[in-house]
Amino acid sequence: MPSRTARSPTSSATRRPASLSRRLQSAHESPRLYHSLSQKNNSVLSLAACDQHIYSASQGDDVLVWDKTTFTLKTTLKGHTASVLALEYAPDKRWLFSASGDSSIRVWSTETFRLLFVLSPYGDTDSGDLFSLSWSPSLSTIYLGCQNTSLQWFTFTPDILQCVEKHACGSLPPQLGLNPMSLGTAILEASLASGTATPRQAHRFFDSYPRYQRRPADLNARNSARDSYPSSPSNGAPTPPSIDDTCLSSQPVQVPLAHLQVPQTNVIWSAHYGYVYCMALLPSIREGSDDPPVNDSEELRLVTGSGDATVKVWSLSSTGPSLQHTIECGQGAVLALVVRGDTVYAGCQDGYVKIWDLETRTLVRSIIVVEIWDVDPPSHSGEDPYSITEGTPSPMTSGDHTNPLVLATFKGTHTQRKNRRVLFYGHYDVIPAPTTGWSSDPFSLYALNGYLYGRGITDNKGPIMAVACAAASLLQKRALDLDLVMVIEGEEESGSGGFSETVKKHQDLIGPIDAILVSNSTWISEDSPCITYGLRGVIHCQVQISNKGADLHSGVDGGATAEPMVDMVKLLGSLIDQKKVVAIPGFYDNVRPLGDDEKQLYKVLSGVTQTPASSLSAKWREPSLTIHDIEVSGPRYSTVIPATVKSRISLRIVPDQDLNHIATSLQEYLQAEFKALQSPNSLEININHKADWWLGNLTDPWFTTLEGAIRDEWGVEPLRIREGGSIPSVPYLEKEFGCHALHLPLGQSSDQAHLPNERMSVQNLQKGKSVVERFLLGIAKVATED
């Protein structure tokens, strides 16, 4: 590649650089992968985009419409009967043109996704596959490049446009009432009865096998995604086969407003000596172009690229294209074109991108594409203009062998009134990721079809970022009228070792707190926002029975020794009966009874989750006992009598059970039952971990403000739910700071927390950020009114 010509600082600052000396992309400006969209089992053949949507043309005959904000599939445009080879967006009309191997162009409204027209080229199926499209707003003309080497165009006259406006909300009458001559020689037919274009017949030239094979022309010869379709018995219309693609939403084939056809006068035969693969309008009207808006007096040009290895430049007028210049690109077909200003970038089959300056008609550069770039996040130099903390977030050591806590504070606007202070608690540690079951690297963030994949994205890094971004956004807008303190720990998944001690030690740095916000769980369904108001507590206990001797052989000592395993089985079997009732004395004494309001709530939630209300109650508000495993000393052979047997059990407790009392009762019960066995073996009981239950205050103004923020953002009433799991830090922080806690779940029920392919919806993150913003603004307003 030739080196750039050196320029003086003065000249480069006073005039726009010429095309030959435009700044190339710096080595430090590597592209960053933002998101991936995947249409399963179907190649992507073309792309287009508008402000709200991304459109991907499918080898499977359809056009997929993706939401540009959430990256989720919004709808699927059906009707083509062969691969969709080209897309073109008309921003002035808000239309989408799709061209296909079925020799038809479909025109869609990007506001309603209604099919407006089916446009056929002149010669119908003799034109072959339609490879390229380009739209001219000033001429209201669509240009199409055909497989039969012709360049064709169709102009949407005022009569047609009025027809669209008049009938956009309903069906066309049998007769349009328009003078066909006012549309040139375009054919306007009544709405199609079948709602789909007829698959074109096999072309004797384009779809033929080599002559020596002596085989007739066949549609399978032309890269079609579908075979010939059998006719339905009712109306003779083709019946497309089903596509095994979970990404495609099922949408009915639509009936167009009318059928249009390119007139014979709008064809340039043999525009190239090869297929017309690509084209571009100059000046460019595409999103992202730095060309100035097109004015009526400016010359319009069309650039076309072909399999004959040439690029042709055409002058455009209302009478049609006129050839200005032909550019020879050497060997290989021209497969892609992009224009910026007077510069044309031609992607060629020989692996080169050839850059031409149209003003001088000279080749500026040839760039060989020989490798895939490694995409790395750019390094940041310089300070962020918006400081979100006083200095950098502060790590707080929690022990010699534990991960530190991170403390960060977003300080709101200072007023004469003391700011309220909200403490957000989250955790950055994760559980290990299995080596199998993941579709991507679990420790590299991967974006696909509206979801972010990676270990910890939903538990709990995604919600942490949503809260931090909400506070930063308000701070940037000078709208943060309270202080948000973030305490992020690194030991939550392993028992929060050292957490309480570290919080006590650094309480002066954290300061006084008025409320606690947590976001560390998921909804009970895919599309129903929730607010959590209760968690069960937990007691983890390890039980060990041993004879303090060596392992024995069952064939030698079986029957002559008191086996620890037999004692363990009897002891564990005494904990719970056949009706799942825990046998510990007084275990259920303080459990709150189920009230009428809660019964009604469970009835509603049962309908949402299709789960019996009794099952929800058992998981959320009733205590339980679980036996997790049994471990033995020595090898796990069928002939070994283990000398030591260990088991882990846990209790889930609920309001108003006393955590310490239940733990003590468990130990006392085990000791009494073991003593009754009169075994010579020894018993050891260790309580490894305890966490209290938590129940929110549903009438608290903090809770009602958060609930209102969810309602206002999502437009529906959030479901009030409880959870069977435990978050030890929530009840601890409530007691430590003497205030209420709030729990805002942001994940969906399918987020796979702790499992392979853990993910989180982009939409949930975006709306979660907005919910937190609304909540912080609402609480600050309530504080001002008090």
Residues labelled catalytic: 429, 492
In terms of Cα–Cα distance, which of 542, 540, 539, 541 is closest to 645?
Answer: 542
Those residues whose C-beta lies under 8 Å from the C-beta of residue 6, and which sit 6 or more positions away, are none
Q: Are 735 and 509 in contact (CB under 8 A)?
A: no
In terms of Cα–Cα distance, which of 345, 348, 368, 360 is closest to 289?
Answer: 345
Give 291-299's long-range contacts (Cβ < 8 A, gap of 24+). 291/340, 291/341, 294/137, 294/138, 296/138
| Dist. CA 116–CA 162, nearest whole Å | 12
| Dist. CA 174–CA 183, nearest whole Å | 18
| Dist. CA 245–CA 553, nearest whole Å | 58
> Three-state SS for 632?
strand
Q: Which residues of 93-103 are buried (b: 16+ CB within 10 A; e: fewer)?
A: bebbbbbbbbb
φ and ψ at 219, to 5 degrees?
-60, -25
Determine how many CB atoms are found less than 10 A away from the CB of residue 442: 22
Q: Which residues of 613-648 are buried (b: 16+ CB within 10 A; e: fewer)?
A: beebbebbbbbbbeeeeeebeeeeeeebbbbbbbbb
The amino acid at 375 = V
Radius of gyration of the chain (CA): 35
Those residues whose C-beta lies under 8 Å from the C-beta of residue 304, and which sit 6 or more positions away, are 132, 145, 151, 271, 272, 276, 278, 279, 311, 312, 314, 337
Helix axes 596-609 and 613-620, enclosed angle (nearest 10) = 110
DSSP per-residue codes, 570-619: HHHHTSB-TT--B-STTTTTTPPPPPHHHHHHHHHHHHHHT--HHHHHHH
| Dist. CA 176–CA 159, nearest whole Å | 10
Q: Are 321 and 312 in contact (CB under 8 A)?
A: no
> Three-state SS for 457?
helix
> Three-state SS for 683?
strand
Phi-psi region of 599 (alpha: psi -120 to 50; beta: other; left: phi over 0): alpha
Strands (E), 262-387: 267-268, 276-282, 300-306, 310-316, 322-328, 334-340, 343-348, 352-357, 362-368
> Three-state SS for 231?
strand
Dihedral over Cα of 127, 133, 136, 137: its sign: positive
Helix or strand (DSSP H, E) at 647: strand 644-653
| Dist. CA 406–CA 397, nearest whole Å | 9
Measure Cα distances from 252 to 79, 85, 445, 690 in Å.
9, 21, 36, 56
How many CA atoms lie less than 13 Å away from 166 in the CB half-sphere?
Answer: 12
Strands (E), 333-454: 334-340, 343-348, 352-357, 362-368, 394-396, 405-410, 421-427, 446-448, 451-453
| Token representation of residue 149 | 């080497």
Q: Are 689 and 759 in contact (CB under 8 A)?
A: no
| Dist. CA 446–CA 527, nearest whole Å | 22
Measure Cα distances from 516 to 199, 417, 428 in Å.
63, 21, 18
